[in-house]
Structure 1
Amino acid sequence: MIDPKTFDDLARRITESLPESVRSFQKDVERQVRSTLHQGFDRMDLVTREDFDVQVAVLERTRARLRDLEARVAALEGKPAMPDHEGSDIT
């Protein structure tokens, strides 16, 4: 999920942009904005950049392993291995 500090900073910037008369209710507004942001981001089912990068690395290793296995199968079957761009249909 997104870092809570990001929510806090975004909520703070939004409340700071409000007129002075509204700032007297800053705590309530800030709490409501933070809650709304949390709910909105939760519905988006977001992941952190770190989690995304980990999954990209796993996918790259899996693709490399798949290419190796395809080449081994082709060699065992006596067929020439397919070039990388014609290998698996996984993109």
Structure 2
Amino acid sequence: MNKPNDFFSQLQQNVSDLIANSPAADLEKNMKAFMGQAFTRMDLLTRDEFDTQMALLERALARIAALEQRVQELESQTGKSDSQD
């Protein structure tokens, strides 16, 4: 008697062979090609590209905040020296 794993492996192989030799395989291949073209036209980003851009944005925002604080410090120093004159 076959082991249950052998039975399921054989069943899976039979189903794979059946699908590979049927119009379903062509349909799947055509659908993947169609979806690939649609996604290409949509100009989508990968998750890695998105994460990279988010990290760059966060660094830029932190730098802007630091520069704004520095400008305020310089303006307050300039205001003090102007009032002393």
User: What's the TM-score once normalised by structure 2's chain length?
Assistant: 0.59
1:39-84 C-alpha deviation (Å, 9 max, x unpaired): 11112211111111111111111000000001111111117xxxxx
- Give the counterpart letter for 2:72 in structure 1: A
Residue aligning to 1:41: 39
Instruction: State the 4+ residue runs in structure 1 displaced beyond 3 angstroms.
Output: none
Identify unmatched segments of 5+ residues in structure 2. 1-17, 78-85
User: What's the TM-score once normalised by structure 1's chain length?
Assistant: 0.56
Percent identity, aligned pairs only? Answer: 45
- Give the counterpart letter for 2:51 in structure 1: D
Identify unmatched segments of 5+ residues in structure 1. 1-19, 80-91
